[in-house]
Homo-oligomer: A and B are copies of this chain.
Amino acid sequence: MNTNILIENAVMELSSDKDHSVFFTSKRNDSPMPDIEQLRMVVELLNKIIFPGYFGESTINPKNLRYYIGVYIDSLKTILEEQIKRGLCFNCSNENKLINYTQIADEKTLAFINCLPEIKRLLRTDIEATFLGDPASKSHGEIIYCYPGIRALTNYRIAHELVKLEIPLIPRIISEMAHSATGIDINPGAQIGEYFAIDHGTGVVIGETCIIGKNVKIYQGVTLGAKSFPLDEQGNPIKGVDRHPIVEDGVVIYSGATILGRVTIGKNSMIGGNVWLTHSVPPDSKILQKKPRENVFFDGGGI
């Protein structure tokens, strides 16, 4: 077939009517998608605000700090408000055209700014917990500047406040940024107490309805997931059902453990690595995988 005709056909098929209903809802034409680069800048600004001296300009000092914080928050206000508005419009339907999304976005952005000191306080507890839990860490500064666990928790604690403000889509994008960079996937709906530490972290999954207490520590590859979920009459999953674990204060979960369902891991329990656990355990439990078979025949030699 002739090149021009082949390309012409591909263009026609890929822009044909049959796809329009899926990719172009009426609202989509009125409001652009949230802008991921702008949201990346939001997270950078928040790092500058929360950890000045680490992520802000190198000349920041106690004398000029308020100028910088003033400018960072002013930028945050402008950029985040626009993205919140886009997030609100992402799910809106045409009937809602009378709603003043600009004003709602303005109010939610201010409410979020109001929470920043509390977010900062929580992250400082997480840094402290990480420092106390890792003999390899050399200083608080190193943890703030390099540790993926703190990076993921920063995005989580930001995104969780946005969830509480009932902002759609934006929290998810922010948590996926951390997931992509760190391999740590915390659903922004999860509730996590202070002094939380994640070490190494790659492969961690924390589900939407998890409730995690204080002083909890988890390692790479830990899953706190759902075992199953109910479907509605059309076979669609019912949203919002509690289906993820409750992890009480002081629990430690070793690498690769999988804990599924609305089970409770009692206070100060220790869950060993590579365990598959689908039931609740009482406080102070110690759970380990069955001992392995040793010196068995195995013909493997590579994957």
Interfacial residues, chain A to chain B (CB-CB below 8 A): 3-4, 6-7, 10-15, 17, 19-20, 22-24, 28-29, 32-34, 49-54, 57-71, 73-75, 77-78, 90-91, 106, 110, 113-114, 116-117, 120, 124, 132-136, 138-142, 145-148, 168-169, 172-173, 176, 179-183, 185, 187, 189, 199-200, 202-203, 205, 207-208, 217, 219-221, 223, 225-229, 235-241, 243, 252, 254-258, 260-261, 270, 272-278, 281, 285-303
B270–A273 contact, CB under 8 A?
no
Pairs across A and B, CB under 8 Å, 25 listed: A6-B114, A7-B73, A19-B52, A24-B53, A32-B58, A33-B145, A57-B75, A67-B67, A70-B70, A138-B168, A138-B239, A142-B172, A183-B183, A200-B223, A207-B303, A219-B225, A225-B255, A227-B300, A228-B300, A258-B273, A270-B300, A272-B292, A287-B294, A287-B295, A290-B291
Q: Which B residues touch A299, using CB under 8 A?
A: 227-228
Most chain B beta-carbon neighbours within 10 Å: one of A14, A172, A302: A302
A66–B15 contact, CB under 8 A?
yes
B113–A10 contact, CB under 8 A?
yes
Interchain nearest-CB distance for A102 vs B (Å): 12
B272–A298 contact, CB under 8 A?
yes
A74-B70 contact in complex given A176-B146, A241-B135, A258-B273, C-beta closer than 8 Å: no
Query: In the complex, which residue of chain B has the Cβ closest to the Cβ of A86?
Result: B58
B145–A173 contact, CB under 8 A?
yes
B293–A288 contact, CB under 8 A?
yes
Q: Which B residues touch A219, using CB under 8 A?
A: 223, 225, 303
Contact of A69 among B15, B199, B229, B298 (CB under 8 A): B15
Q: Which B residues touch A255, using CB under 8 A?
A: 205, 223, 225, 258, 303
A14-B64 contact in complex given A297-B286, A303-B254, C-beta closer than 8 Å: no
Oligomeric state, in number of copies?
A: 6
Query: In the complex, which residue of chain B has the Cβ closest to the Cβ of A113?
Result: B10
Q: Which B residues touch A272, using CB under 8 A?
A: 276, 292, 298, 300
How far is it, in angstroms, between the C-alpha of A261 and the C-alpha of B273 when the chains are bound? 13
How far is it, in angstroms, between the C-alpha of A275 and the C-alpha of B297 when the chains are bound? 16
Q: Which B residues touch A6, using CB under 8 A?
A: 110, 113-114
Q: Which B residues touch A136, using CB under 8 A?
A: 187, 189, 207-208, 239
Q: Which B residues touch A258, using CB under 8 A?
A: 254-256, 273-274
How far is it, in angstroms, between the C-alpha of A117 and the C-alpha of B7 when the chains are bound? 12
Instruction: Name 7 extra pairs, CB < 8 A, besides A67-B68, A135-B241, A252-B302.
Output: A15-B65, A138-B168, A185-B220, A219-B225, A254-B260, A278-B300, A286-B297
